[in-house]
Amino acid sequence: MLFQLLIIICISTNTYASNKLVILPLSVTSLFQATYFYRNTTVPFSFTNCTGVNDADNSDPAENKLLKSRNASFISYSTEFKSLIDSNTTPKLIEQQLVSIPFAHEGGAYVPETNEVWFSANQLPQQNTNVSSINLTTNEVTLLNINNPINTPNGIKYFNSLVYVCSQGTKTIPAAIYAVNPTTLVSKVIVNSWFGFFISHYLIARCENL
Contact yes or no for 24/65 (Cβ under 8 A): yes
Q: What is the pLDDT of residue 37?
A: 85
Q: What is the pLDDT of residue 184?
A: 97
Spans of all domains in the chain: 2-82, 106-207
- Band (pLDDT 50/70/90 cuts) for residue 202 is low
Q: What is the pLDDT of residues 84-123, one digit of tens each?
A: 776 667 778 888 888 788 888 888 899 999 999 999 998 7
The mean pLDDT value for 31-47 works out to 85
User: Does residue 30 surpass a pLDDT of 80?
Assistant: yes
Q: Concatenate the DSSP letters of all residues of 85-149 into one string.
A: --TT----------TTS----EEEEEETTTTEEEEE----SS----EEEEETTT--EEE---BS-
3-state secondary structure at position 162: strand
Q: Does the structural domain 106-207 have CATH classification 1.10.287?
A: no
Q: What is the pLDDT of residue 5?
A: 39
Say which residues have a Cβ less than 8 Å from residue 50's Cβ, sequence separation at least 6.
32, 34, 36, 37, 59, 63, 66
Q: What is the pLDDT of residues 123-162, one digit of tens each?
A: 777 788 999 999 999 999 999 999 999 999 989 999 999 9
The alpha-carbon radius of gyration of the chain (Å, integer) is 20
Q: What is the pLDDT of residue 100?
A: 81
Q: What is the pLDDT of residue 26?
A: 85
- Band (pLDDT 50/70/90 cuts) for residue 52 is low
Structure-model confidence comparison of residues 13 and 151, the more confident one = 151
